[in-house]
Amino acid sequence: MTTRWFGAPVQRVEDDRLLRGHGRFTDDIGEDALECCFVRSPYAHARIITSIDAAAARAMPGVVAVYTAADLPFGGVDLPLLIPHPNLTHGRTQRCLASDIVRYSGEAVAFVVAENRYLAEDAAELVQVEYEPLPVVITPEVAARAEHLVHSDVPGNIAAEMLQEVGDVDAAMAAAPRRKRLRFRYERGAASPMEARAVWARWSSDEHRLTVYDSTQSPTSIRGGLAVLFSLPESSVDVIAPDVGGGFGPKIMLFYPDELLVPYAAMQLGRPVKWTEDRQEHFTAVNQERGQVHEVEVGFDDEGRLLALQDDFLHDGGAYTPYGIILPIITSAQVPGPYRIPNYRVRFRDLYTNAVPTSPYRGAGRPHACFVMERTLDAIAADLGIDRIEVRRRNLIQAGDFPYDVGVAWQDGNTVVYDSGNYPVLLDKAIALLGPKPAGDHVGMGIGIYVEGTGVGPYEGAHVQVLVSGKVVAATGIPNQGQAHATVWAQVVADELGVDVKDVEITSGDTRRFPWGVGTFASRGAVTAGNAMHVAARMVADKARQIAADHLEADPADLELAGGRVRVKGSPDRGMPLGAVAVLSNPVRYAFGGGTEAATQFAAKPRPGPPLQDGEQPGLEATGYYSPPGSTWASGCHAAYVRVDPKTFRLEILKYVVVHDCGRVINPLVLQGQIEGGVAQGIAGAFYERLAYDEDGQLRNASFMEFLMPYATEIPAIEIDHIETPSPLNPLGVKGAGEAGVIPVGAVIGSAIEEALGVPITEMPLSPLKLYELSRAHPT
Amino acid sequence: MKVNGVSHPAPTDPRRLLSDHLRHDLGLTGTHVGCEHGVCGCCTVLLDGAPVRSCLMLAVQAERHEVTTIEGLARDQAPLHPVQQAFHECHGLQCGFCTPGFVMSVVGLLAQHPSPSAQEIEEGIAGNLCRCTGYASIRRSVLRAAALSSPLVGKRRDGAE
Amino acid sequence: MKPPPFEYHAPTSVDETCSLLGSLEEAKVLAGGQSLVPLLNFRLARPAHLIDINRIDGLDRIYERDGGVAVQALARQAAVEDSELIARICPLLKDAMRLVAHRVIRNRGTVCGSLAHADPASELPAILLALGGNVTVVSRRTQRVIAADQLFTGVFETSLAADELLAEAWFPAFSGPSAILEESRRHGDFALAGVVRAGDALALFGVASRPVLADRRDPTHGLQPSGDLEATPDFRMHLVRVLTEKAFAA
Question: Given pLDDT bands bounded at 50, 70 and 90, which one contains residue A3?
Answer: low
Q: Which of A30, A245, A717 sits opposite B95 (nearest CB)?
A: A245
3-state secondary structure of C172: strand
DSSP assignment of A231-299: T--GGGEEEE--B-S--SSGGG----HHHHHHHHHHHHHSS-EEEE--HHHHHHHS-BB--EEEEEEEE
A458-626 folds as Aldehyde Oxidoreductase; domain 4 (3.30.365)
pLDDT at A50: 82
Across the B:C interface, residue pairs with CB atoms under 8 Å apart total: 92
Q: Which of A23, A194, A484 sits opposite B131 (nearest CB)?
A: A194
Residues of chain A positioned with their CB less than 8 A from the CB of B24: 30
Cis ω before A765 (30° cut-off from 0) = yes
Q: In whole angstroms, what is the distance from residue C74 CA to residue A38 CA?
A: 38
Last residue of a domain, one of B72, B101, B116: B72
Q: What is the mean predicted confidence (pLDDT) over A551-577? A: 94
B41 and chain C in contact, CB less than 8 A:
yes
Q: Where are the alpha helices (DSSP H) in A346-438?
A: 366-384, 388-395, 423-434
> What percentage of chain A has pLDDT greater than the value 70?
99
Structural domain boundaries in chain A: 31-134+191-285, 292-456+629-777, 458-626
CB contact under 8 A, B40 and A704: yes
C5 and chain B in contact, CB less than 8 A:
yes
Same domain, B65 and B86: no
Residue with more model confidence, A606 or B46 = B46
Same domain, B55 and B101: no
CATH code at B51? 3.10.20.30
pLDDT at A572: 86
pLDDT at A51: 83
Domain residues for the domain of B47 are 2-72
Q: Which domains does chain C have, with CATH numbers?
A: 7-53 (3.30.43.10), 62-172 (3.30.465.10), 178-249 (3.30.390.50)
Last residue of a domain, one of B72, B93, B118: B72
All residues at 6 or more sequence positions from B119 whose CB lies less than 8 Å from its CB, including other chains: none
Q: What is the mean predicted confidence (pLDDT) over A167-172? A: 98
Across the A:B interface, residue pairs with CB atoms under 8 Å apart total: 173
CB contact under 8 A, B123 and C98: yes
* Residues in chain B, total: 161
Average model confidence (pLDDT) for chain A? 96
CB A220 within 8 A of CB A511: yes
Q: In whole angstroms, what is the distance from residue A775 CA to residue A645 CA?
A: 12
pLDDT in tens, A366-398: 999 999 999 999 999 999 999 999 999 999 999
Taking CA A323 as the corner, what is the angle to CA A317 and CA A329, rounded to the nearest 5 degrees?
A: 70
pLDDT in tens, A631-676: 999 999 999 999 999 999 999 999 999 999 999 999 999 999 999 9
Question: Does position A606 have pLDDT exceeding 80, yes or no?
Answer: no
CB C72 within 8 A of CB C168: yes
CB A72 within 8 A of CB A96: yes
Residues of chain A positioned with their CB less than 8 A from the CB of C238: 772
pLDDT at A607: 80
Q: Which of C34, C42, C78 sits opposite B56 (nearest CB)?
A: C34
Last residue of a domain, one of B72, B93, B116: B72
CB contact under 8 A, C186 and A688: yes
CB contact under 8 A, B129 and A23: no
Q: What is the mean predicted confidence (pLDDT) over A54-69? A: 98
pLDDT at A2: 45
Chain-centre distance for alpha carbon B155: 17
pLDDT at B158: 43
Element (H, E) at A300: strand A292-300
Task: Count, in order, helices (H) and strands (E) of chain B.
Answer: 6, 5
pLDDT in tens, A25-40: 999 999 999 999 999 9
Cis ω before A403 (30° cut-off from 0) = yes
Same fold: A31-134+191-285 with A458-626: no
Residues of chain B with pLDDT under 70: 151-161
A439 and chain B in contact, CB less than 8 A:
no
Name the DSSP class of A576. E
All residues at 6 or more sequence positions from A740 whose CB lies less than 8 Å from its CB, including other chains: A450, A452, A523, A634, A636, A660, A662, A674, A675, A678
Same domain, B95 and B33: no
Domain contains B88 = yes
CB A434 within 8 A of CB A638: no
CATH code at B151? 1.10.150.120
| Beta bridge partners of residue A114, listed in sequence order | A35, A63
C183 and chain A in contact, CB less than 8 A:
yes
Q: How many Cβ atoms sit within 10 Å of the Cβ of residue A130?
A: 12
For domain A292-456+629-777, the CATH class is alpha beta
Strands ordered across the beta sheet of A273-276: A63-67, A108-114, A34-40, A273-276, A198-204, A209-214, A237-240
All residues at 6 or more sequence positions from A432 whose CB lies less than 8 Å from its CB, including other chains: none
Residues of chain C with pLDDT under 70: 250
The whole-angstrom distance between B7's CA and the closest CA on chain C is 19
Give the strand pairing for A621-626 and A460-466: antiparallel
Domain contains B161 = no
CB contact under 8 A, C107 and B112: no
Q: In whole angstroms, what is the distance from residue C225 CA to residue C233 CA?
A: 5
Domain contains B96 = yes
> What percentage of chain A has pLDDT greater than the value 90?
95
Burial string for A396-425 (b: 16+ CB within 10 Å, else e) reads: bbeeeebebebbbbbbbeeebbbbbbbbbb
Of residues A517, A494, A454, the one with CA closest to residue A661: A454
pLDDT at A780: 74
Q: Which of C2, C4, C38 sits opposite A117 (nearest CB)?
A: C2
CB contact under 8 A, A701 and C229: yes
pLDDT in tens, A508-528: 999 999 999 999 999 999 999
Question: Does position A603 have pLDDT exceeding 90, yes or no?
Answer: no
Same domain, B8 and B33: yes
Find chains touching chain C: ≥3 CB pairs under 8 Å: A, B
Domain contains B118 = yes
C187 and chain A in contact, CB less than 8 A:
yes
Interface ipTM: 0.96
Find chains touching chain B: ≥3 CB pairs under 8 Å: A, C
A31-134+191-285 folds as Aldehyde Oxidoreductase; domain 3 (3.90.1170)
CB contact under 8 A, C231 and A769: yes
Number of domains in chain B: 2
Same domain, B63 and B96: no
Q: Where are the alpha helices (DSSP H) in A476-634?
A: 485-497, 530-552, 578-584
Q: In whole angstroms, what is the distance from residue A768 CA to residue C238 CA?
A: 12
Question: Does position A551 have pLDDT exceeding 50, yes or no?
Answer: yes
CB A18 within 8 A of CB B96: yes
- Preferred mutation among B12, B15, B63, B109 to probe C, highest tally of C CBs within 10 A: B15
pLDDT at C166: 98
3-state secondary structure B115-150: CCCHHHHHHHHCCCCCCCCCCHHHHHHHHHHHHHHH
All residues at 6 or more sequence positions from A388 whose CB lies less than 8 Å from its CB, including other chains: A377, A378, A381, A445, A447, A751
